[in-house]
């Protein structure tokens, strides 16, 4: 081989080595880029899963808090009937023993429901009307000017279960 041929072979070998090094570096860069993409996918998936766990835990807690809402709503007419019975029995002086029995049953029922999270909403005549908390069933002319826009009468009591109002108090407001 001549020197010229020898130099050509050496230069072609150098070129091949450079090409292989470039290929190796591009393969390495590609693998590094692919690894970064997979890490990003993993982190996003992990964050999404953590959000899912947090959301389902919150939903489960909310469900447990209001799981008895249907039962409570079904019991509210019974409470209303007890209150009506107590007001009518108080007028009858001969039914004192009956009034005591009905009152005892009513108190036991209320205590049991309160232990399960039911609370009556306290609304009195003269309170300001709040559409977020009260349900206005009618408006009547206010007996005095200071009762305009205020609650004049409470027709039906309201109740809340935990932090959620399950029945809004039905009120009459002054106009």
For the chain (175 residues), the mean pLDDT of every run of 10, in chain order, is: 55 65 76 93 95 94 79 91 87 81 92 92 88 91 86 92 90 91
Task: Give the span between the Cα atoms of 21 and 29, in whole angstroms.
Answer: 12
In the CATH scheme, what architecture does the domain 69-174 have? Roll (2.30)
Determine the pLDDT at residue 113. 92
Task: Give the span between the Cα atoms of 166 and 122, in whole angstroms.
Answer: 14
Closest CA to 86 of 73, 72, 76, 96: 96
Asked if 127 and 149 count as a contact pair (C-beta separation under 8 A), the reply is no
pLDDT tens-digit map of 100-134 = 888 999 999 999 999 988 999 998 888 888 888 99
Closest CA to 164 of 117, 111, 109: 117
pTM: 0.62
Local structure of residue 119 (DSSP, 8 states):
E
Q: What is the DSSP string of 156-175?
A: E-EEEETTEEEEPPEEEEE-
Determine the pLDDT at residue 163. 83
């Amino acid at each position: 081989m001549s020197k010229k041929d020898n130099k050509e072979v050496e230069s072609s070998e150098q070129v091949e080595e450079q090409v292989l090094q470039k290929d190796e570096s591009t393969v390495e860069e590609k693998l590094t880029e692919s690894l970064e993409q997979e890490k990003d996918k993993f982190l996003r998936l992990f964050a999404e899963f953590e959000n899912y766990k947090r959301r389902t835990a919150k939903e489960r807690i909310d469900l447990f808090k209001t799981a008895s809402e249907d039962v409570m709503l079904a019991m509210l007419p019974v409470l209303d009937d007890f209150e009506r019975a107590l007001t009518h029995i108080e007028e009858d002086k001969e039914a004192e023993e009956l009034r005591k029995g009905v009152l005892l049953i009513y108190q036991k029922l209320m205590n049991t429901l309160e232990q399960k999270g039911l609370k009556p909403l306290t609304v009195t005549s003269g309170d300001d009307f709040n559409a977020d908390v009260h349900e206005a069933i009618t408006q009547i002319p206010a007996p005095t000017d200071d009762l305009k826009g205020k609650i004049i009468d409470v027709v039906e009591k309201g109740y809340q279960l935990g932090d959620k109002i399950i029945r809004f108090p039905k009120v009459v407001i002054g106009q």
